[in-house]
Amino acid sequence: MTKMKYLVIAVLALVFLWSCKDDSDYVIESNPDEFAVLPVAVPVIADGGTFDLTINGNESWIAKLVDSNSSAQDWCTLSETSGTGRKVITITVKPSTSFTKLRSVFIEVTSGSKTLKSKVLQETMVLGEDEVLINGMVWSTKNVGAPGTFASSPDDRGMYYQFNRKIGYPSGLQGDPAPANWPAEYVNEEINWLPENDPSPEGWRVPTTAEMVALWEIGATWVTKEQTGFSTDGMIIGVPASVAKQANKDNLKQLGCLFLPQSGWRNETGAVDRGWLCAVRSGTSLSKTHGGMSLGDSGGYRDVWGWGDGHKVRAAMIRPVKNIQLED
């Protein structure tokens, strides 16, 4: 009985020692000559990325993408689509462009008479903290600040920009004189705002005039700082007046609207003018002298296109839109 007791203890001790052994180098490997595709599933976050796909075996193979459920072009690509023997290829997935659809596609690899598949499945987009979805487009809740940056808050006017120019000028109150870097002349051009002159942060752009007008046509309501809790009066756009009357600095995203601060513009001389207006630039050339600008004030004045006051030489705020094409 005593010997049996010691034997049991010895076996248990061996089991314990074996379990403590460093087995990090112990790997079960498949037959290197056997055709296989790994992994069989590739989960992808909304931001996309690059991923390895291992094709095992010693025969020639062909890979292709099949059964995509997305209308986006080339959202998933392969670094190689044919080869011989073992190979690690790269899967590249672009950022998602849908808030509702999980994008998916199969990678079908054929070698001889055998076909194996790996599935790529991508998460949907999620609106950022400072983003609002209106009319199927993602709008920033903030103006453009210095070139390539956002203003600090929705009621920060940011910097003012002349049409099709990337140089920002400081905002200011009515009568604020021209800044030192105000250009001596402005050459009018009958072209839309060019991408290389766009001061919006990376991934964003100046909206077209039609895109901006579409927001104002839904609703453009003057609101006071007492109502909204912002530091200045301004306009709520993108929702009917009945909804705008409920807007404040804490519920814009919930209501699906934007706040544009009272701003005015810098006129031909560079001085801040019409400081009681809300004036925001858009990127469509209307004529040699006029470009998109949407304006409004507390008295009901509205010029959504800019035919009247949208002189290209005048500098005004920019409210950027995300530079993506959303999927259905």
Domain map of the chain by residue range?
A: 36-122, 131-322
Give pLDDT tens digits for 110-164. 999 999 999 999 999 888 899 999 988 999 999 999 999 999 999 999 999 999 9
The answer to whether 159 touches 250, Cβ cutoff 8 Å, is no
Record the pTM: 0.76
Q: What is the pLDDT of residues 53-96, one digit of tens each?
A: 999 999 999 999 999 998 888 999 999 999 999 999 999 999 99
Burial classification of residue 131, based on how many CB atoms lie within 10 Å of its CB (0-12 exposed, 13-18 middle, 19 or more buried): middle
pLDDT digits (tens, 9 = 90+) for 18-44: 344 443 333 334 577 789 999 999 999
How much is the average pLDDT of 250-254? 93
Tokens of 174: 């009515």
CATH code given to domain 36-122: 2.60.40.10
Quote the mean pLDDT of the chain: 89
Q: Is the pLDDT score of 10 beyond 50?
A: no
b/e for 253-292, b at 16 or more Cβ within 10 A? Answer: bebbbbbbbbbbbbbeebbbbbbebbbbbbbbbbeeebbb
Question: Counting Cβ atoms within 10 Å, is residue 239 exposed (0-12), middle (13-18) or buried (19+)?
Answer: buried
Asked whether the beta carbons of 57 and 66 are under 8 A apart, the reply is no
